Amino acid sequence: MSNLMNEFNSKVISAEKAAGLVKSGDLVAYGYFGIPPHDFDIALGNRVDELKDVTVHVAGSVRMWQFLKTDPEGKVFTLISDHFSALDRMLGDKGRAVYGPVQYHEFHRMRLELQQPFIQRDVICLTTTPMDSHGNFNFGLCNSDTYAELAHAKIVIVETNPNLPYCLGGEMECINLKDVDYIIESNAPVFTMPPAAPPTEAEIKIAEHIMPLIPNGACLQLGIGGVPNTIGNLIAQSDLQDLGVNTEMYCDAITELYEAGKITNKRKTRDVGRSTFTFCFGNKKTHEFLHNNPQIASYNCDYTNNPKYIQLEDNVISINNCVEADLLSQVCSESSGLRQISGTGGSLDFHMGAFESKGGKGILAFEATYKDKNGNLQSRIKPMLTPGAVVTVPRVMVHYIATEWGIVNMKMRSVWGRAEQMINLAHPEFRDDLLKNAREMGLWSRTNRIPF
């Protein structure tokens, strides 16, 4: 142990010295989602007058970065985000951030195998737990592709923080001291999710449409947003039993399901008795629940998100939000026209994997309408996707689509049949116009029937 501590102490440096390792032209990576560095970020921002052409790579920004605050005109730092948060959207609108498209499960393999030279990290710094007695630094809330990313970075810096929960694996949930170049010790607050807003009437109706499709013993994946959270609350109050979890994001609703006695993971094929996840956005209670809890296993994103692994479980129920859909049943989950809203993330991963699962169901859910900036009601079901909108789930892969007006299995339906069902899922105020559009687009015939 004394040799371990000697090595540890030899690698401890200040945040200022760590940030001093960054050179002009470098590609710097921060830990994804809930594990970006705090003190290092401040120190890097303070070097704005010494650097030029530095790119910082993140995913899901959880706070305004210091390097952007000190460089308001974007003359020094460029931000790449692999999954847009609300903050990233704002930065994208100002031309300060750009999105990196990818299917989430591919990150791990691309880091380890492809090793594209333009993604080679010169410096990477992320938050970890303090070193354990075996010399390991746990990634806590974000396993993701972290291990693979560290494997090929030129300089690896960990910013240890005792406020980060220690999340057991799994695999690839830690890095060892021997693979770390420098250590910063911090005690900064760790990001926690704010309290969820009460569910809307539409979200409750959507969840009620989905509930009958969930059997006892189902293996759940709950995405980000109001509908998945509402589903979690309804399940907690239901008679469902022996549920399992294999998800990309561990959310607060899963903790609530544990407390309600709904999750046992007894019927899973892999990791029997344990819920599996790759990152977490949660509140303080969820962080405390995850800490050193052997009922939960942290894995890399290939293990949790690869469709060929997802399908190994029976009765996978995947529930994800989307932004809009069209009469062809093409689904956009990540942009509003050309404006990036979030990212592909694991939506397509889990939708594909759930369909291939025995008894599984991939469900894409969204409110049928929204209000624009002038307060006018607009339909999220459109004749064609908004120009520039990204097709996240192609029509041939779409399984179930749900709105507050119903839920439909799109598999094996014709183009005419898809148009008819999409109109049924739309708000009644927009159905006549959508029917007119369908006829003009050649998506209608005398055999179509509208039951509304």
CA distance 3 to 180: 16
Opening angle at CA 27, ends 174 and 14, nearest 5: 60
CA distance 410 to 329: 8
DSSP class of residue 366 equals: -
Beta-bridge partner residues of 400: 363, 409
Contact 217, 309 (CB under 8 A): no
The single residue of 248, 334, 404, 420 carrying the catalytic annotation is: 248
Could you tell me the end-to-end alpha-carbon distance of the chain, in angstroms, rounded to an integer?
73
Contact 148, 108 (CB under 8 A): yes
Beta-bridge partner residues of 317: 220, 361
Element (H, E) at 286: helix 284-290
Beta-bridge partner residues of 361: 317
Residues in the chain, total: 452
Task: Give alpha helix (H) positions in 1-48.
Answer: 2-11, 15-19, 39-45
Contact 148, 300 (CB under 8 A): yes
CA distance 277 to 129: 18
Which token pair is 124? 């990477």
Closest CA to 347 of 399, 383, 419: 399
The yes-or-no answer on residue 248 being catalytic is yes
DSSP class of residue 28 equals: E
What number of helices (H) and strands (E) belong to the chain? 16, 26
Torsion of CA 345, 349, 355, 361, to 10 degrees: -30
Burial 194-213 (b: 16+ CB within 10 A, else e): eebeebeebbbbbbebbeeb
Catalytic residues: 248
